[in-house]
Structure 1
Amino acid sequence: MATMFLSWSVFIAVTVLAAQLCIGEKSCHIKSTAGSVVQLGSSFTVYCTFNCKCKGSMYCDDPTTLQTHKDVNSTTISVDVVNITKSRTYSCRCECFSQLDPCGLDILAGYPPDLPKNFKCTYEVQKNESGVLVCTWNRGWDTYLGTRSKLRVRTVTGNHTDGPHSVSSTGTESLSASFALSRSVQLISVWVEVNNSLGFVKSSISNYSLSDIAMPLAPGLYLQECLSRKCLIEVKEPVETQHVQIQYTADQQTWTSSLNSVVQMNSSWSVSSLEPYRLYYFRARSKFSTGIWSEWSANISSWTQEEAPAEELDVWFTEPESDSTSTTVYWKEPNMSVSRGKIIGYKVGVGRPNLRAYNISADARSFSVPSCADCEVTVWARNSKGLSPPARVTTRRTKVKPTADVSVSTGNYSITISWRKAETAPLPAGYVVEWYPEGRQLQELRWVKLDKNENQTVISGIKAFECYEAAVYVFYNENSVSQTRFKGVATLESAPAAGPVVKDKVEGNEVKITWTELHWSQRRGCISTYSIYLEDSSGHRKTYSVASQERTYTIKGLSPGLYSVSMSASTSTGEGPTGEKVKFFIDQEAHSSLLLVCGILSVIVLFLVCLCQSSAVKQRFFEFFQCFMLDVVPDPANSKWAKEYTQDKDKMSLMPQQSNSSASTEEEEPILVDVEELPKQSSAVSMQTNVSSPLPPQTDLNPGTDPATLLYPLTTYIKSFSHDSDSSDQTQTSLDTNSTVDYISSHGPGNLGEEDEEEEEEEFADMNFFPSHNIFLDSLEFGGKLTLDAVKIDCSDFFQSA
């Protein structure tokens, strides 16, 4: 019996437990002291009570986070929530009944509703008898909770009051509600009611007169026609209004208005004061005699018609290069207000009045005028309606000394150029400032023309890490101009990005290095200097600094061996990396060949010196140089010795010079010299003797001998050198300074004493001829007989024998 009772007890317990599991019984109950909806920032306590004594725990959110709880009693725990910042979910679990569902609580956090902001109402008149009341407002702050808003409307018609009517709002941020009303309604009262789980608010009541908030619908616009200066627009309205406002713009940013009174519902209006060839946008709105303006209509657009260009082009030019006679003329693309139409081409005329015309495409901005270093160039712009006024530029300019003190300063992506005119300078007619990236004048030339009263301009849009050149032109009239040019202007700089590419050319013991400019994208500013690095095979390095404008450099005096050379470029901020190294070799043969040439020249000089010691060679050289003497020479017949000879013809004889030697003083037999005289024609000789046949082999020189016959070797002239006679003044004055004159003694070379030699040296010195110890005079030989008559020796014999 006891066993049966125990079995029934277990069965009942299992059955009850199974029943609980089937019905989903929870293991606990959870609640909050502030309820399930709380205000953000509030504090409260969450309690959890279990169905039995067990070790419980509380969690928050998903994924769950274990909370630090307090034990209230054996079956209850609690968690204090302080300054809640968002909605949360709390849950509790019991370890004893893990098979039961845990209990949980969702707590919503938010704010009570805010009073509506910017509450306003309008009455849209859609027909002449009725319209729609439209009210809008802003809900205020976000409550983070579900909020319900309603528009309440009360109407007054005569003495009758109707309402209030309730209309639910739509929208999220900006709420609105609409309510149909007859135009017979005179007054309305409106307000808004808002509520959520944390509270209820009501806006203040707004009272309106319906005529004060009446607004027509937006009108419709239709374009009829556009001319060059005005457009005709048709305005269509659903209801009759008293005012229409039309606005137009060319850029959809700045609108221009015109106010008109409406007489008819559908009418056309003229919008004037427009510019030719512009794309204009138009819009319109309308209003009753009272009330508010309607919404703007949809935009319509149209182009106005073209007109011929109104102004001349802005024209400038560059001076021709040194190797060219052509001039490049530039012009700026005219803006819409100048072109007054689509430019379809340009016309360039050269010369005046004989004009040579060239038609240029519309895309061109420059033209190279051939053979125009000194001419007048005229440029026109053409559209479908005609040509612009002519813009003339004269390449014939008279350059004068600059009279303006120009200064340059740089800013962030801008350059400021200012100048100050000298007090004594003439009044200028105007200024032109031009600028362009260094080395790209033809491609990117820019300029601005300034009035004579201006003294400064700011150039904007300057590229960073770019080097610029600029110039200021001061025009005093059409042709007179001064120019001040400056280079190396940059706003931002850094070290160059690369080094120059080097080329070498070895010549002997030197190397010529050439390089090209860095690409403008690698310069990173204005190049100030180049550095050349020369390194030999032992690693010894030399540096050479070169100015930025140079493109070649020669290194001389290099020893034989292997070398490498590289280069770098520098700006004002630093030096860039070096370029690729180029290797070259100085050959030993260069030095050997130089020494060989010097040796050969030395041998030749030594050979010539030794050769000149030969008497035959000296004689030939002497005869050769004699042939280059001038034909005008002193006349021996006018010498002092010849005059004395004519006075004492019968007594004169050629006596030897007395010397201090121990030789005999007795008179020796005169030495006779055989001379062959050849005919020679010369018109420059003061006395000329033509001989058709040679002289006898020997002629005795005695007192009876003809004085015109003289002893002489194969020279142009021979003068007797004696102790008693000197050259006359007449003879010396008649002697050409470039003539070569030889003198011999009357008693032959073998009888010359020391005193004779001294006198001979003195006289030779006076004649500006060979020195007294000339090698050509050491081996002269005499033979035959010579009279004192003026004779000529033909040098052709020398060349024939040669």
Structure 2
Amino acid sequence: MSPARSIGAVVMLVTLQLCAGEKTCTVWSDVGSMARHGSSFRVYCSFKCRTSTISMYCYDPTTHESTEQLLEKHNSTTVYFKVDNITWNQTYRCSGVCHTPVDDCGLDMGVGYPPDPPTDISCVNQVFSHERSAVTCTWGRGRDTKLWDSTVLHVRSLHGNYTVAADARSKGRGSRSASVNVSTSVHMIAVWIQTHNALGSEVSAPVNYALGDIAVPPTPVLAQPNCSSRECVLEVQQSMATRHLVVEYGTDTRRWSSNQESVRKGAQMSVTQVPLSSLEPYSLYRFRVRCRFATGLWSEWSEEVSGQTEEEAPAKDLDVWYAEQGSDFKSLRVYWKEANASVSRGKITQYIVRVYSQHSGMDRWMNFTADLRSCLVPFCTDCEVTVWSQNSKGASPPARVSTRYRKDTPFEIELKTLSEHNVSISWRKSETARQQAGYVVEWYPEGHKPEELRWVRLGRKDSSAVITGLAPFECYAGAVYVVYDDGPGNQTTFAGVTTLESVPAAVPSVRESVEKNRVKVTWMEVPRGKRGGCITKYSIYLESESGWRQAYTVPASERTYTIKDLPSAMYSLWVTASTAQGEGPSQRSKVKFLIQYDAQMSLLLICVAVIPVIVLVCLCKVPAVKKRILTFFQCLALDQVPDPANSKWAKECTQETGKVKLQLQLSNCSLTEEEEEEEQDPIVVDVEELPKQGCDGDSPPEVSAQLLAKTRLSCDTKAKGFPYPVTTYIKSFSHNSDSSRHTEASGETGTTIDYISSHGPGHMDEEYLDEDEDEENFGFTMDFFPSHSMAIKGLQSEGTLTLDAVKINCNFFQSEHF
């Protein structure tokens, strides 16, 4: 054959093969297209023509990668490679050059397990009516074969040739189920399961059932319940008569169940009334029910229905407490807690508050909306505050709290941190205290009592409590009250309670007020969220521009501080706050101020005020100036001046020449009773009239020391029954002048009458002194004030002193005895 004919024959053969759909190669394995998980086998590739180039690839669907395999020669047209421990489905492709440039073929290899024997077979007989029922069985399929399985349920009557079968369907992971209809005439059945896949097949052992033992009645139907405040009546509808009913009911937090007898036997359609009592008023209940024949299994639960019981009047009084509002104590803030549903027994519509005082006659009623938990009421020391809650059915019992405090002995309090939100508090009350009704523990963030007051009421036997709901890095205060039947006792307070603490994160806001050489510093509290706990102190830092610095520590309760005696300079000031963990940030908000106070200027002003006084005092030493000043003050004195010369005492003193009887009135404030009796007799002083002498330094006669001692008066002397005024004065008389002339002269207008106290010591010159020269002829200096506590020895005199030589130019006092 010629080459041209040979080439044509080959082309025609290939064309015929392609048209016929035949491939030039074949791929197969020695285990078929399904392999057991973990097995090993060979994959072959065979070409229908001889080729020197053959390759085989394995495609992994999990990684989407193809790997060329190492081939071994089986014969002249066939090669193979070994597969070890296969775990996933694989695709194998064979490639080579035969009659066409490239000729490919391939094999999809499945991997899995043979089926396990079915286990845990469970069957029920679902009864729909007296004529029809269905047996439903479930079983465990074992492990997942990763292959397609075929499973069949077989049911056969044990007393006849009745046999039915049904294909299974999946029911959840690892289990399957199937149902078959069974005649109601069948009583005993045998059940088995058969399953198979490409790698094998299994059949379970048969299980026998009595249909009456696995009979399940139809699921009952619940109608909407009819409820009162304490009872709900359920209506249960059933298509078949059953013997037993179970009703399950409850709220969101609790559930109960109730067993009931079902309807009479044999009824085709039955309705059962099931009453449920002892329910809580104004509560939402949910109900469901299931039933059972005399034998057999319970039905499925019915769908849930809900019903709400009606309201009743609130069962208990409210938990009420109060706190003083502000520092003026003109009002109280009364607080109450919202009662739970079991206590309120309905929707609260309003709160009623009454403030009553028997003594003041106050009887005030107030209504508040249901969303409020506190109110302001007038304050009185003997008030009784009563609070009621009210719903549509009535009001609660009254909750009373009295403002009448009872004195009680404070007791010791111990606090212990339990967690970042809880603190325990305990106390020990005095055993001698009267019987209490209970305790109240209150707490609140410091400075926020009216807004965030919380409290807990305890019994009389309690001695500890747990304070809950505390915020970390917050400072709390509070108190423990002993509560009696007629009112609370004294409070025992506590403060500075915090669970977690840190240094303050901010500085106080500062204001300054400068006055002369002092500055008044005022600051606000650190913002609440940045205090870090309980503030223990404040520190004030003062710094001058020259570098001088001073720190001042202020208690945490203070908000102002005054710094005094600052020299003139420019200053910087800032305030920091501290907790137990340390001091907060500083120097972030400095306040600058200037002190310009001049101490020399102040001294100059003082000198300007003092110099005129000194000049005036010096001028008073000049007789002429002093006379004019005394004349000016005399004009300011009272117009009516008593004249001692006309007094009875002065006339008696002139009856006996040369002798004057001076009766000294002594105070009895510092004398004993014996001394007082001894002093009842007046002390008579003999005044001897001396001849005229000069003013050139004659020594005065001696005064009896006994007289001086008896004329000293105490600082708090009080006159008692004096025959003459306490402060008496002696008018001057001259032995050479007529007494009547002196009497007339004393009454003239503008005439200056001078006096000396009768308590004065010594003698003075009897020489008559002119009005112009009287001050020069006085040889002694005396502070003339009619004080009863004047000491006699304090009077110093020079020369002699006579009645005629003594005159005083000022009318200091008046006496009704003249």
TM-score when scaled to structure 2? 0.75
- The alpha carbon displacement at 1:161 in A equals 3.7
How many angstroms apart in 2 are the aligned matches of 1:8 and 1:463? 104
Q: Distance in 2 between matches of 1:748 and 1:147?
A: 160
Identity among equivalent pairs (%): 38
Aligned to 1:296: 301
Say if 1:512 and 1:553, in contact at 8 Å, map to a contact too: yes
Match of 2:337 in 1: 332
Pairing partner for 1:506 from 510, 514, 520: 514
Q: Which amino acid aligns with 1:149?
A: T
Residues 421 and 790 of structure 1, relative CA distance in 2, 3 Å threshold: same
Shift of 1:316: 1.1
CA shift at 1:315, angstroms? 1.1
What is the match of residue 53 of structure 1? 52
Give the match for residue 614 of structure 2.
Answer: 609
SS, match of residue 315 in structure 2: coil
| Per-residue deviation, 1:376 | 0.3
RMSD (Å) for aligned C-alpha atoms:
5.0
- Aligned residue for 1:268, secondary structure, equals strand
Residues 126 and 215 in structure 2, CA contact (< 8 A), matched pair in contact too: yes
Counterpart for residue 645 of structure 1: 658
Equivalents in 1 of 2:398, 2:200: separation in Å? 80
Per-residue deviation, residues 603-629 of structure 1 (Å, max 9, x unmatched)? 332443244222246666778899999
Query: Is 1:256 aligned with 2:269?
Result: no
1:165, CA displacement in angstroms?
Answer: 2.5
Q: Distance in 2 between matches of 1:113 and 1:595?
A: 116
Q: Could you report, residue by residue, the CA deviation over 1:738-787 in whole angstroms, capped at 9, with x for unpaired residues? A: xxx999655699999xxx968989999995599889xxx99xxxxxx996
Compared CA separation, residues 650 and 227, structure 1 to 2 (3 A): closer
Q: Does 1:453 align with 2:461?
A: yes
Q: Supply the AA of the counterpart residue of 2:531.
A: R
Give the SS at the match of 1:408.
Answer: strand
The aligned amino acid for 2:601 is L
Change (3 A) 1:114 1:544: farther
Q: 1:389 to 1:597 in 2, by over 3 A?
A: same
Deviations 1:526-553 (A, max 9, x none): 3334444555557776655443333233
Structure 1 alignment gaps of length 5 or more: 662-682, 691-698, 720-726, 736-740, 779-784, 798-802
Aligned match for 1:380, one of 381, 388, 398:
388
Specify which of 583, 589, 597 is matched with residue 591 of structure 1.
597
* Cα distance change of structure 1 residues 426 and 658 upon mapping to structure 2, 3 Å threshold: same
Aligned position for 1:267:
272
Structure 2 match to 1:278: 283
Contact 2:115 2:149 in 1 (8 A): yes
Deviates more, 1:166-175 or 1:43-52: 43-52
> In structure 2, what is the equivalent of residue 145 of structure 1?
147
Task: Choose from 408, 411, 417 the match for 2:425.
Answer: 417
SS of equivalent residue, structure 1 residue 411: coil
Distance 1:141 1:638 in 2: 150
Deviates more, 1:110-119 or 1:242-251: 110-119
Structure 1 pair 125–109 and aligned structure 2 pair: CA distance change class (3 A):
same
After TM superposition, the structure 1 stretch with the greater mean CA deviation from structure 2, 474-483 or 572-581, is 572-581
Q: Whole-Å Cα distance in 2 between the matches of residues 437 and 28 of structure 1?
A: 90
Structure 2 counterparts to residues 365-764 of structure 1, below 5 A: 365-479=373-487, 481-534=489-542, 537=545, 544-558=552-566, 560-573=568-581, 575-577=583-585, 581-587=589-595, 590-592=596-598, 594-614=599-619, 615-616=621-622, 645-646=658-659, 653-656=691-694, 659=697, 703=736, 706=739, 717-718=754-755, 731-732=758-759, 745-746=765-766
Query: How far apart in 1 are the matches of 2:389 and 2:311?
Result: 14
State the AA in 2 paired with 1:230: E
Contact 1:403 1:482 in 2 (8 A): no
SS in 1 for 2:610: helix
1:240 positional shift: 0.9
Is contact 2:357-2:382 (8 Å) kept? no
Q: What is the CA–CA distance in structure 2 between the aligned matches of 1:632 and 1:120, rounded to whole Å?
A: 142
- Secondary structure in structure 2 of the residue aligned to 1:259: strand
Q: CA 1:382 to 1:52, structure 2 compared with 1: closer, same or farther past 3 Å?
A: same
Greater Cα offset, 403-412 or 71-80: 71-80
Partner of 1:214: 215
Aligned-partner residue type, residue 142 of structure 1: D
SS of structure 2 residue aligned to 1:458: strand
Which deviates more from structure 2 when the two are superposed, residues 333-342 or residues 219-228? 219-228
Counterpart Cα distance in 1 of 2:503 and 2:569 = 33
Distance 1:61 1:321, change over 3 A: same
Residue of structure 1 in register with 2:323 after alignment: 318
Question: SS of 1:612's equivalent?
Answer: helix
Distance in structure 1 (CA, Å) of the matches to 2:440 and 2:322: 11
Q: Which residue of 2 aligns with 1:154?
A: 156
Task: Indicate conservation of the 8 Å contact 2:313/2:394, yes or no.
Answer: yes
Alignment of 1:155-194 (within 5 A): 155-156=157-158, 159-163=159-163, 165-173=165-173, 174-194=175-195
Distance 2:694 2:785 in 1: 18
Q: Could you report, residue by residue, the CA deviation over 1:175-197 in whole angstroms, capped at 9, with x for unpaired residues?
A: 22111122221111112233333
Structural mapping, 1:104-143, within 5 Å: 104-116=106-118, 118-143=120-145
Task: Give 3-state SS (helix, strand or coil) of 2:491's partner.
Answer: strand
- With over 3 angstroms needed to count, the CA separation of the structure-2 counterparts of 1:364 and 1:132, relative to structure 1, is same
CA contact (8 A) 1:61 1:90 kept: no
- Residue 309 of structure 1 is matched in structure 2 by 314
Counterpart residue number, 1:693: none
**Equivalent residues of 2:217, 2:291 under 8 A apart:** yes
What are the Cα deviations for residues 243-271 of structure 1, in whole angstroms up to 9, with x where unaligned?
12222212275233242343362232221
1:561 to partner: Cα distance: 4.9
Whole-Å separation in 2 of the counterparts to 1:380 and 1:290: 56
Please state if 1:348 is matched with 2:353: yes
Q: Do the aligned residues in 2 keep the contact of 1:27 with 1:94 (CA within 8 Å)?
A: no
* Aligned 8 A contact 1:133 1:178 in 2: yes
| Matches of 1:68 and 1:793, distance apart in 2 | 147
1:115/1:201 contact within 8 Å kept: yes
Say if 1:278 and 1:304, in contact at 8 Å, map to a contact too. Answer: yes
By how many angstroms is 1:111 displaced? 3.8
Cα distance change of structure 1 residues 61 and 581 upon mapping to structure 2, 3 Å threshold: same
Secondary structure at 1:160's aligned position in 2?
A: coil
Deviations along 1:586-644, one digit per CA (max 9) or x if unpaired, are: 05xx223x431222212332443244222246666778899999999999959999977
Q: Deviations over 1:182-218 (max 9, x none)?
A: 2221111112233333443333422111111111111
Structure 2 counterpart of 1:229, which letter? R
Q: Deviations over 1:465-487 (max 9, x none)?
A: 33332322122442351322222
Work out whether residues 152 and 165 of structure 1, in 8 Å CA contact, stay in contact via their aligned partners in 2.
yes
Quote the offset at 1:49 in angstroms: 6.9
Which amino acid in structure 2 is aligned with residue 600 of structure 1?
L
Task: Please say if residues 153 and 191 of structure 1, whose CA atoms lie closer than 8 Å, have aligned partners that are also in contact.
Answer: yes
Q: Report 1:234-245 matches (<5 A).
A: 234-245=235-246
Amino acid at match of 2:481: Y
Q: Which amino acid is the alignment partner of residue 520 of structure 2?
A: K
Q: Is the CA contact (8 Å cut-off) linking 1:465 and 1:494 kept in structure 2?
A: yes
> Take 2:111 and 2:220, find their aligned partners in 1: how far apart are those partners?
48
One-letter identity of the residue aligned with 1:301: S
What's the counterpart of residue 722 of structure 1? none
Q: Secondary structure at the match of 2:224?
A: strand
Alpha carbons of structure 1 residues 439 and 289: separation in structure 2 relative to 1, 3 Å: same
The amino acid across from 1:370 in the alignment is P
Q: Which runs of no fewer than 5 residues in structure 2 stay unpaired? A: 661-685, 700-723, 814-818
Is the contact made by 2:244 and 2:293 (CA closer than 8 Å) also made in structure 1?
yes
**Aligned-partner SS, 1:319:** strand
The CA distance in 2 between the partners of 1:129 and 1:540, in whole Å, is 110
- What is the identity, as a one-letter code, of the residue corresponding to 1:435? W
- For residues 415-444 of structure 1, the C-alpha deviation after alignment (integer angstroms, 9 at most, x for no partner) is 222223344444432111122233332222
Which has the larger displacement, 61-70 or 491-500? 61-70
